Amino acid sequence: MDRYLAHLAFMPDLSRMLYRSRHIYILLAGVLNLGLGAYFRPAGELWRRVLQLLGSLMIVVATILFVLAFMYEPPGASFRVEISRRAISLILYGTFFHVVSSIRRKNRGIVG
């Protein structure tokens, strides 16, 4: 961006805002991928592993979509942000799937 867009200095406010917000989205996806990579352990039950796999796949696809959104959405300077909207939904559902797959029931110690 430094070389081709001169630090966004002469760009309209909307386009500059879209570029900066896409940077933040890419950062979000990167931090989420790092966090998942640090904690990830395959679950024991099949349905939990499936949720983990689907969640991870959604987050990876969302990361790719955020990079594509960075390249294609801001230059148009419109509020058509379909790529980002889909990526945000994917990252939300992917994170939700990981959370659900990690919830465990507490054993209340009842012997029976």
Q: What is the C-alpha separation between 1 and 71, in angstroms, rounded? A: 11
Q: What is the pLDDT along the chain (112 residues), one digit of tens a residue?
A: 556 555 666 667 777 777 788 889 999 999 999 998 898 888 888 999 999 999 999 999 999 999 998 888 766 656 677 888 999 999 999 999 999 998 876 655 555 4
Of 46, 45, 60, give the one whose Cα is nearest residue 91.
Answer: 60
Question: Hunting for tokens 């110690």 — which residue is that?
Answer: 109
The one-character DSSP state at 89 is H
